[in-house]
Structure 1
Amino acid sequence: MEPWYSGAVVDAVREAKSRRALFIVYVHDDSEQSQTMDKFWSDIWTKLDNLSKLIALRLNKDTEACQQFQAIYKIQTFPTIYFINGQNGQVLKMIDQPLENSNKLEEIIQDLMNVIEPKQETTTDQSTKTVEEKVAEARARLKKLQDQRGEEAKEKDKQDELERRRLGQKMLLDKQKKDEELIRKQAEDVRRDKLEQQKLQEKLKAQIQQDREEKRQKYEDQHQQQQSSTVQQSKPKVTTTEIETPKINYTRSRLQFRLTDGSFFTEDFPLDAHMNDVYAYLQETLPTDQYRNGSYILRTTHTRITLTRDNPNTLKELELVPSAVLLVLNRSNVISPSSNLNTNNFFQSIQFIFTWFMMQFNFIYQFIFAKLFGNHTPTSSTQQTRSAMNRNNSNEQQTTETKTKKENFKIDSTEKTTIRRFHNTQDDSDDEEKRTWNGNSTQQM
């Protein structure tokens, strides 16, 4: 049976002090070195004779007793063995390195037991020895112990140096492996980059060649087209039949009503609706305080056609399809066409007289210039004056025709033919947009 002390640490220290024995503390863990040391202890207990001169305590790494012992004595590695003098608590030796065999540990224990309490024969002989002899023996033992400690320190330094060299060599090998791996990786990256660059260059070359082929093909196609167009131009032209665009059949007519205050609203009507239906809708929609029944009339924007309530034609027959703009005017604000015609004739007469005087003045100027500097082609001012005279003549003819047709104005709005446009020079000059828009244009919406 192994003589390990089974009590607490405090009790073991007290027992070692009372018996003046060698106090051995063995701290271990679950490592392989600790298991090897346990086998050494089993061998030692069978070899030692006088076990009463020592107190052996075994502590596990994770126990509370080990933590109490570590509070006084430092433990850095496992396993660790402390040899303590039981009389005064002095640490005689500490072993924290693995041993080769159990004989080494047995020698250490025997030497320390002799230091603490010499053998019985020595004690009996000491009575006959003098003080000088005792001191000499003690010095010899102390020197021996110091020499032994020095040897152990040298051995430890040697082991440490070997371990340091081994670690240095290992680190050097690891560094060389890392450097080789880095060089290999860099070489692989360079090779990959070269392959990618080569593929990209080949792709660019193929793209450039393709672009050249496309340009060449395009140039040849254009050249052939030009030759074919030249041949076609040289051939007699072949008459082709015109393709008629299909007409759109509208089912609704969208009318926009504009009031005198600038507001407007829109409503859809069927194509067969009459003006009576439109007036009935306005009677329900317009405010009664401003537009009473019979106090307003409807008129188109550009042709100036008045659409009365009793007009028998439908919206389709009046050409108000697909959309049109109608002005809602008060009857008191409507100016008769005759007054407008008279005003227009007056201004046109003044313009005609002024143009005639300018022509006379220009004729005199050209005559004098020809006498002094010779003949020359007519200037642009003369041509402009003549064109202005022609325009005035055409305007006068249109005014004359308008006078003859002003009585038939309402009759033309109800005919089944195309609605005629009532030409007013003054209104057309004031409104530039009315020269390009028609009454049915969707741009007014």
Structure 2
Amino acid sequence: MRWFEGSIPAAIAAAKERRCVFVVVITGSDGQSAQLMSGWETDSVSEAAQNCCVAIRLDAQSEACVQFSQIYPVVCVPSSFFIGENGVPLEVIAGSVTEDELQRRILRVTQVSTHTDADPGDRHISGTELAEGPLDGCLCSPESLSVPPEEHRASGHVTPAEEERQPDQALDDKVQRLTKKLEERREQKKKAEEENELKKEMERRKTGKEMLDFKRQQEEEKTKRLLEERNREKAEERAARERVKQQIALDRADRAARYAQSQQDAEAARLAALQARDAKRDAAQRERSAVARIQFRLPDGSSFTNQFPSETRLLEARQFAAQEVGNRYGQFSLATMFPRREFTAEDLEKSLLELDLAPSASIVLLPQSSRPSNTVVHSSAGGGVWAMLGSLLYPLLAVWRFISGFLFSSPPPPAAAQNQPTTNTYGSSAAAEPQRDAVRKRVHEKRPEDFKKEGKIYRLRTQEDNEDDNNTWNGNSTQQM
């Protein structure tokens, strides 16, 4: 079906130009409208309406349908209006009809239109004739289905020119009225649109203001919520920091307590070990100090050793030494070399332990002259008799010293020789030198096997000495075993 694509006035002008029936089909969105449109779209109906109709399709909700219903009342939807050249509805089909019925209606409208053009005097169409056919429950007004008699009734004598001019004039009047109504409708629509735009603008502003208020309220709530969350996080962080500080303080206190305890334990263990070691050392010292091993070193380099109880007085040790050496050195005193100390008469009454000579010590015998040096001074001060007597007796004293040194293997005391004049000392020393060497040689040969001679060096012999240690005895050798 070829539908006219223009507006209603254009369709009316096209129908008037082609002298065809103007067909208006009004449809909706229901099933009857779809059924009616399917009938119009068939090939037989399209072929029947192609040459005799100018058809236009309107939606029941469109503005054009509203304007059309102001002139031709639309009773029901769907509807099909067949309008002649003079604007009079020739046929109105209310509701949907079958394809055959629609084709039959189109043929009848074509015949009515042709008959109207052939006999202009008879143009009245009764309402019963136009409403003939099924309406499917739709009610149509008789006024809309019939043409007023005064419009179709002609006078007794009407000329053909007047008959042709009357339909054209009626159609022009209707078009003018329709155009005027369209203009009024357009003005009303424009005013309504302006009012709607104003209302929409007011609504938009109101909505915008409400949106701004809502957004501002949301921002305030969000800011408040963020502030509360931040304060809560700060409080939690502060509490966590305090807990960490407390834990650190507890850990430090615990570590300090453990460290102090460990220090106390270590100190107690150290003190206990030190006390045990001191006790052990004291016990060993007491055990060792119970016996004092004294080595007596003679002026000629020889020595002898003896053990004494640590409580023995130094006087007893001196008496033992005097018994051992006899009268070889005459009067002698006791002394230690390291540290340098010469024992006095008061020290002779002290024990070896009190004099730090236990558990072992080395005592040197220091020979003394038979007469103190101050005697010579006093004799010289008393007169020359004693000086002369000393000079006369000195050779005899020298011979006695030589004989005693030969017998007791001991040279004369050096202190006595130093107290004599220089000339006499030199002469006696030169005369007695060969005899002293012979005496020393015999004394050295008589020494016990405790001494070992290496060149001019004598050292003590121990049980661990053997011939293999000769290379490393004094520590100066480059050979290390």
Normalising by structure 1, report the TM-score.
0.30
Structure having greater relative contact order (Cα 8 Å, sep ≥ 6): 1
Normalising by structure 2, report the TM-score.
0.29
- Over alpha carbons, which structure has the higher Rg? 2
